[in-house]
Amino acid sequence: MKIQFTAATEIIILSAQTVTIPEKIINVPPRTKTLSSITITSMLDEPTQKRITVKTVELGNIILWQGSSYDVIGQCTDQDVLNRIKEIYNIPGN
């Protein structure tokens, strides 16, 4: 499944962080990628772990639902997957 965005979107892969080691504070800037689509190569539903994960070409593994959110989603559709990825990465559009 391929998710096409209405426009190229900058996605934050890793949020900015501050790392403290003895006598040093290191500010690590966020890591981002600008993408116009995400290609999902597989989806794994793990009922015993209460987790649904998708594997993507561009971003690697993405945990879509786990724990109580796994219970709420039940049987997810392609549209649910699309909406969840857009929610996780704050992607605007349809």
Q: What does each of the 94 residues of the chain score in pLDDT, given as a tens digit? A: 777 777 777 777 766 677 777 788 888 787 888 888 889 999 999 999 999 999 999 989 999 999 999 999 888 999 999 899 989 888 876 5
pTM of the full structure = 0.74
Predicted local confidence at residue 93, as pLDDT: 65
Q: How far apart (Å, rounded) are the C-alpha atoms in residues 21 and 67?
A: 33
Give the count of alpha carbons within 13 A of 51, CB side only.
8
Q: ∠ CA 53-57-61 to the nearest 5 degrees? A: 25
